[in-house]
Amino acid sequence: MSNREGTPKFPDSYIGDKSVEYDNSKWMERNQKKSTLLCLQYLRDDKLDNLGTHNILNGNHYIIVDLGCGSGFSSEILVENGHRVIGIDILIDMLSKAKTKKKISENKKNIELILADINFLPLKETSINHIISISAYNFIIYGTETIRDKFKTVNNTAMHLKKILKPKGRIVIEFYPKDEKELELFTSSFKNNGFDGFIIKKNPAQKAGQTYLLLKKR
């Protein structure tokens, strides 16, 4: 998550009163939903179709995991676009707000919300069409101190995400790596664990900042 008050701190910026502030922010809602729509567009990116083994997505409705779904802004957009959504978040303060949105949704049957760690998803192998993550993926290395631990975490997570994806499964991640070294850590973890992909940066001149990682399971 990026905001006008500076870089958020995980988990402090997403619990207690901060979670209420997040959920009530029209600016945050607008930006999260805009990013989600862009991620849906990137799922069908022509360059992704032609990368590695050529394939084009068939159909319009998928089972999509919303990794780090937060208070549910991104899940709302995915459901509105006809998808079945499994929202995953580790913070109960955020997930409870997503559950409130689900209760009043006309499409509540298409939303499942699970309290879980992104690194340990309780999902069956080859059960998911695609994965989207908005402003959350870089938090998977929270609590790791050494580069060795970070490397182990990102590689184990990428390996697990590949297992739960069906053949031709794709991942689009919108996140905020702090520098080029951290970006390389994340991108290489996927390339070393069975994915083809590339990045799109909002500002190509920036080494950090908003980044989209487009991936396709080999």
- pLDDT tens per residue, range 85-120: 999 999 999 999 999 999 999 989 999 999 999 888
Position 204 confidence tier, pLDDT thresholds 50, 70, 90: confident
Query: Based on the number of CB atoms within 10 Å of its own CB, is 167 exposed (0-12), middle (13-18) or buried (19 or more)?
Result: exposed
Structure tokens at 59: 């159909």
Structural domain contains residue 151: yes
Domain span at residue 34 reads: 12-217
pLDDT for residue 2: 43
Task: Give domain status of residue 2, yes or no.
Answer: no
Strands 211-217 and 165-175: antiparallel
Q: Is 5 within a domain?
A: no
Q: Which of 161, 134, 142 has the alpha carbon at shortest distance from 215?
A: 161
Is 7 within the bounds of a domain? no
Per-residue pLDDT of 21-54, as tens digits, reads 999 999 999 999 999 999 999 999 999 999 988 9
- CATH code, 57: 3.40.50.150
| pLDDT computed for residue 1 by the predictor | 45
Does any domain span residue 75?
yes
Q: Does 6 map to a domain?
A: no
What local confidence, expressed as pLDDT, does residue 58 receive?
87
What's the pLDDT score for residue 214?
98
Spatial contact of 165 and 195, defined as CB atoms under 8 Å apart: no
What is the token pair recorded at 13?
């910026």
In a domain, 1, yes or no: no
Judge contact between 62 and 166, C-beta under 8 A.
Answer: no
Closest to 172 (Cα-Cα) out of 53, 44, 54, 71: 44
Q: How far is CA 42 from the centre of its chain?
A: 13
Confidence (pLDDT) at 6: 59
pLDDT in tens, 169-191: 999 999 999 889 999 999 999 99
Inter-residue contact 133 to 67 (CB < 8 Å): yes
How many domains, in total, are found in the chain? 1
Q: Is residue 127 part of a domain?
A: yes
Residue 136: φ, ψ to 5°: -140, -25
Residues 78, 132 contacting (CB under 8 angstroms): yes
